[in-house]
């Protein structure tokens, strides 16, 4: 019996999101609880007309440290619409063009269930 009650929304490891820019696009995003910031593919960001960059941030990873531009976008994840910051980087070699990090998970009050599948 699950005695844990919460008003938080449960999402899976991948989720369909809407990103609003000059156009709106539905994309499948990867949820990464280990990433402090969310990121978006540079070409996708340009396609949506996001920007100009509102700043830069330093990202540290296992492969080293990089400085990335930051863009702001409105997204809809589950039934929550929010404005969030994304670092931009070439993600063309990756399966998911958008990575949802802790900045979105905390802001949206989400809980991750690895067994939940995107419908």
Pick from 34, 58, 56: which is nearest to 112 by CA? 34
Does 3 map to a domain? Answer: no
Give 47-94 pLDDT, tens digit per residue.
999 989 999 999 887 778 989 999 999 999 988 999 999 999 999 999
pTM: 0.87
Contact 112, 31 (CB under 8 A): yes
Q: What is the CATH number of the domain that holds 17?
A: 2.40.70.10
Give the range of the structural domain holding residue 108, as residue numbers without chain letter.
9-112
Give 1-52 pLDDT, tens digit per residue.
454 556 788 999 999 999 999 999 999 999 999 999 999 999 999 999 998 9
Structural domain count, the chain:
1
């Amino acid at each position: 019996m699950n005695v844990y009650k919460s008003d938080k929304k449960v999402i899976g490891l991948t989720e369909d999101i809407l990103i609003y820019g000059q156009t709106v696009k539905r994309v499948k995003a990867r949820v990464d609880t280990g990433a402090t910031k969310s990121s978006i593919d540079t070409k996708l960001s340009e396609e949506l007309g996001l920007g100009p960059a509102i700043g830069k941030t330093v990202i540290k990873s296992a492969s080293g440290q990089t400085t990335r531009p930051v863009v702001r976008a409105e997204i809809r994840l589950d039934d929550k619409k929010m404005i969030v910051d994304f670092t931009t980087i070439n993600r063309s070699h990756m399966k998911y063009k958008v990575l949802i990090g802790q900045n979105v998970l905390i802001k949206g009050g989400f809980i991750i269930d690895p067994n939940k599948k995107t419908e």
